[in-house]
A and B are shown apart, each in its own frame.
Chain A
Amino acid sequence: MSARPVLLVSVPAVHLSTIELPGSIYPWRCLRDAVLPPDLRLALLLVMQAAEAQQTEVRFVARPEIFTHGAAREWLDAQAGGAEDHLALTDGNTLRLLPGLRNHMFFFPRGMTSREAALQRLVRLVPEAFAGLASQVNGTLSFRLGARWVRPPLLPLGFAVTPAGEPAQYIPFVWLPGNHGHAGVLSEKEAMAGLPLLKPPHFVPLTLGALSDHPFVVELAKQVRDVVLDPAKGPLLIGLPALDRDDAATKDQVEAVLEAFSRTGVALPRRSSWSVRFVAGMPDPAALAGGRLTLHARVPFWHFGRDVLDAAAELVLTGSGTLSAARSLFTTWLGREVAVQRIRPQMGLMPVTVGQVP
């Protein structure tokens, strides 16, 4: 038995394959010193900070799925220091449960469309596993199971101070219609680690999920057009989305955003601009103070600490479609009301619905 309460934590095993673990139960330093995707690293930092604040000891378990039964489970229980809770950090591919413990879920790649689709597929396959969760960290998962709605209770976790990561790279906006790949290459060539902003910016971090929200991208493209044509309306910072590829470079992230802009039909000026700039990584929190922060509903808001969110002059939650779940989550998580801007599809043209193939 440990003197402090113990929390078992598991991460997707695919990230353990290159780490030489000392055993099935391993300490934080094994992950702390490992190469991990940024979103997983942030999720782990968040969990470790929360555990420290609650004076809880964290023990990581490599493959909880092999310890569900019999002698193997007895062994795990003997190593677990009396733990009653297990937090599974999931990328959506699987949900590892430890029967008999309170299982909690943290789906960390919020806004990664392929991961979100994988999670939804898993929920359809084994909804009972999700229905039994004691909580979900920073998530809004809900679903109907038979006659009842299931929504695992929210466990809000947040950073007081935005974690310092690699210095952000600032990249100018370059628009070459029909050649977004080359535009991405040109942009990346101009990347700079820091570039002074003349006034507080409007920062819009993106994910692939946000980019799949067409009305939102239309609005953003219009803002880009306006700022490029009239730099006094800037600066506009666009946070580059993480891509679901290990080999993705900054130019690929830029290309993904430009491709999304090209699908909006908004005519953008063929020129480069530093008034609109892309950001790879988390901008310096001081640079965002006094500015406007627009968070799409499918952005991992918990990447931002209270320092950034409280220092922003304007904080807006946005997206098309219903935003009630995201609003509820975000206001609960933040502890205060947040302005919500629901974007409606552009009006004017008659909607066309094709009911059947002729």
Chain B
Amino acid sequence: MKPALTLDITPLLESQWTGIPVFTRRLVQALDPHLDLHFCMGPNGVPGDAVRQAIRISTGTYLRDAIDAAVETVVKEAARPTIDPAIPLLYPSVKPSPGAAMREASTIHDISTLVMPDTHMPENVAFHLDPLRDQMASDEAVFCCSEATREALCTYLPWVRPRTRVMYQYVDWPEGFEAMDRNQPAIRLGRYAVVIGTVEPRKNLRLLLRALEEPSVAADDLHFVVIGARGWMADQALAQLSPEAQARISFTGFISEFAKYRLLRHAEFLVYPSVYEGFGIPAVEAMSLGKPVLASLSSSFPEVIGPAGLFFDPFSVDGFVAALEEMSNPSVQAELAAQAMPQAARFNAGVMAAPVLEWLAGG
């Protein structure tokens, strides 16, 4: 008989799944073969078939409709199932209030709201930090998304360390993407690198923009495709660049998973200048497609990217330019690319499920 676990699927209620909703979806899929999974939204149970159907169609809209339909009358509301407090309860993100189950665990993705509140809206800081101490105190296990996140958390809350476990997530491109990509016309972008970042301070795109005016970068023909919205802050920063430099960079806006897959698959490498990440799933996405990563020497990046990347000081234009030149060397790129897929393969569903199974087994 499989051990039972209740998983809070509140993040899956979002319409568009990125970030923590995707993490939650992967967690469900990683644990489903091993556990008797129950689902909840706060103290209320959620039907398992609704969750699994929502995952099949990859949207929270369906799940919200299914839950709303179940509580559309007072009678139905009263009959709504609640969670069984005897079954261990795992939150894939913030635990808003403790004590719903006898054994609880939650997940810390990063502690940027604690150490970098200047990069967050005050409401977001309050959402993460107000319950943090109670959350940690009532957790039997605290899952951290990387060793770097665990170390950062334990720097501030050292008594949490014995409860912490590292839970790495993984990349799972849909099976059909490879065939769909083959059936598409070739991408006509010339040589390009994909960039993950925005102009906001934590994502540090400004470093790349500053580097575009450097002679060695200006002389190259590499194009930079930024996955994400351009925004007025980027407009302001770009206005300070020469027209030639501006022509070297383009913004995709919000794109589908398949469009991201195609852009990454045909890129030379990924540029990830972010100052701080709890894990850095875009790096694993790129590596899973055999692409090396040029990333900040910061937080979780060395741990996640390992030998498949080159690193630079996130505040040094000179350091970034030097690393970019090194990455542009075909032999270096090939050497790193050979490491990319094995490195990405270290992060898989079994690795994600393992710490949860160990916790449930009392290990």
A contact residues vs B (CB 8 Å cutoff): 12-14, 17, 20-24, 26, 62-63, 65-72, 75, 93-94, 96-97, 99, 124-126, 128-129
Which residues of A are found within 8 Å of B152, using beta-carbon distances? 65, 68-69
Interface pair B314/A24, CB less than 8 Å apart: yes
- Least Cβ distance of B194 to chain A in Å? 22
Residue from A23, A94, A124 in contact with B115 in the complex, judged by beta carbons closer than 8 Å: A94
A13 to B296, CA, bound (A): 17
Interface pair A70/B115, CB less than 8 Å apart: no
- Any A CB within 8 A of the CB of B65: no
Which residues of A are found within 8 Å of B115, using beta-carbon distances? 65, 94, 96
Interface pair B114/A126, CB less than 8 Å apart: yes
Q: Looking at B114, B156, B157, B210, which has the most chain A CB atoms within 10 Å of its CB? A: B156
A75 to B302, CA, bound (A): 11
Q: Given that A63-B276, A69-B148, A72-B297 are known contacts, is A125 also in contact with B132, CB under 8 Å in the complex?
A: yes
Residue from A14, A22, A66, A96 in contact with B298 in the complex, judged by beta carbons closer than 8 Å: A66
- Least Cβ distance of A250 to chain B in Å? 27
Q: Given that A22-B318, A97-B156 are known contacts, is A65 also in contact with B116, CB under 8 Å in the complex?
A: yes
Which residues of A are found within 8 Å of B301, using beta-carbon distances? 72
- Any A CB within 8 A of the CB of B177: no
- Least Cβ distance of A27 to chain B in Å? 13
B contact residues vs A (CB 8 Å cutoff): 114-118, 129, 132-133, 147-148, 151-152, 155-159, 201, 210, 275-276, 296-299, 301-303, 311, 313-316, 318-319
Interface pair B157/A71, CB less than 8 Å apart: no
Interface pair B151/A69, CB less than 8 Å apart: yes
A126 to B157, CA, bound (A): 6
Which residues of B are found within 8 Å of A75, using beta-carbon distances? 297, 313
- Least Cβ distance of A90 to chain B in Å? 11
Interface pair B155/A129, CB less than 8 Å apart: yes
- Least Cβ distance of A133 to chain B in Å? 12
Residue from A71, A96, A126, A128 in contact with B311 in the complex, judged by beta carbons closer than 8 Å: A71
Q: Given that A12-B118, A97-B156, A128-B157 are known contacts, is A68 also in contact with B276, CB under 8 Å in the complex?
A: no
Interface pair B116/A71, CB less than 8 Å apart: no
Which residues of A are found within 8 Å of B132, using beta-carbon distances? 125
Which residues of B are found within 8 Å of A24, using beta-carbon distances? 313-316
Which 4 residue pairs are nearest across A and B when measured between Cβ atoms?
Answer: A23-B316, A71-B302, A65-B115, A14-B118
- Least Cβ distance of B119 to chain A in Å? 8
A99 to B319, CA, bound (A): 25
Interface pair B147/A69, CB less than 8 Å apart: yes
Which residues of B are found within 8 Å of A70, using beta-carbon distances? 147-148, 151, 302-303
A77 to B129, CA, bound (A): 30
13 contacts between A and B (CB under 8 A): A13-B118, A20-B210, A24-B316, A66-B275, A67-B298, A68-B148, A68-B151, A69-B152, A93-B118, A99-B155, A126-B157, A128-B159, A129-B156
Which residues of B are found within 8 Å of A124, using beta-carbon distances? 133
Knowing that A93-B117, A129-B155 are A-B contacts, what are 11 other residue pairs whose CB atoms are under 8 Å apart, sorted by A's residue number? A17-B201, A22-B318, A24-B315, A63-B116, A66-B296, A69-B147, A69-B152, A71-B302, A93-B118, A126-B156, A126-B157
A70 to B201, CA, bound (A): 23
A70 to B152, CA, bound (A): 11
- Least Cβ distance of B139 to chain A in Å? 16
Which residues of A are found within 8 Å of B297, using beta-carbon distances? 71-72, 75
Q: Given that A69-B152, A94-B114 are known contacts, is A62 also in contact with B315, CB under 8 Å in the complex?
A: yes
A69 to B303, CA, bound (A): 10
A144 to B151, CA, bound (A): 25
- Least Cβ distance of B295 to chain A in Å? 11
Which residues of B are found within 8 Å of A93, using beta-carbon distances? 117-118
Residue from B118, B159, B311, B319 in contact with A23 in the complex, judged by beta carbons closer than 8 Å: B319
Q: Given that A125-B133, A128-B159, A129-B156 are known contacts, is A66 also in contact with B114, CB under 8 Å in the complex?
A: no
Which residues of A are found within 8 Å of B155, using beta-carbon distances? 68, 97, 99, 129
- Least Cβ distance of B271 to chain A in Å? 17
**Least CB separation from B312: chain A residue:** A23
Residue from B114, B116, B201, B298 in contact with A72 in the complex, judged by beta carbons closer than 8 Å: B298
A66 to B312, CA, bound (A): 13
A63 to B314, CA, bound (A): 10
- Least Cβ distance of B362 to chain A in Å? 27
Which residues of B are found within 8 Å of A26, using beta-carbon distances? 315
A62 to B325, CA, bound (A): 25
Which residues of A are found within 8 Å of B151, using beta-carbon distances? 68-70, 99
Q: Given that A62-B315, A125-B132 are known contacts, is A94 also in contact with B116, CB under 8 Å in the complex?
A: yes
**Least CB separation from A131: chain B residue:** B158
A26 to B210, CA, bound (A): 17
**Least CB separation from A21: chain B residue:** B315
Residue from B118, B147, B148, B316 in contact with A22 in the complex, judged by beta carbons closer than 8 Å: B316
A36 to B174, CA, bound (A): 50
Which residues of A are found within 8 Å of B314, using beta-carbon distances? 24, 63, 66
Residue from B129, B276, B319 in contact with A66 in the complex, judged by beta carbons closer than 8 Å: B276
A265 to B107, CA, bound (A): 53
A68 to B110, CA, bound (A): 13
A14 to B301, CA, bound (A): 23
Which residues of A are found within 8 Å of B133, using beta-carbon distances? 124-126
**Least CB separation from A97: chain B residue:** B155
A94 to B119, CA, bound (A): 12
**Least CB separation from B154: chain A residue:** A99
Residue from A65, A125, A126 in contact with B276 in the complex, judged by beta carbons closer than 8 Å: A65
Residue from A23, A72, A128 in contact with B156 in the complex, judged by beta carbons closer than 8 Å: A128
Which residues of A are found within 8 Å of B296, using beta-carbon distances? 66
Which residues of A are found within 8 Å of B313, using beta-carbon distances? 23-24, 75
A67 to B301, CA, bound (A): 11
Interface pair B299/A72, CB less than 8 Å apart: yes
Residue from B147, B158, B275 in contact with A128 in the complex, judged by beta carbons closer than 8 Å: B158
**Least CB separation from B302: chain A residue:** A71
- Least Cβ distance of B298 to chain A in Å? 4
A229 to B311, CA, bound (A): 70
A13 to B313, CA, bound (A): 16
Which residues of B are found within 8 Å of A96, using beta-carbon distances? 115
A126 to B302, CA, bound (A): 27
A128 to B299, CA, bound (A): 22
Q: Looking at A14, A21, A69, which has the most chain B CB atoms within 10 Å of its CB? A: A69
A17 to B207, CA, bound (A): 12
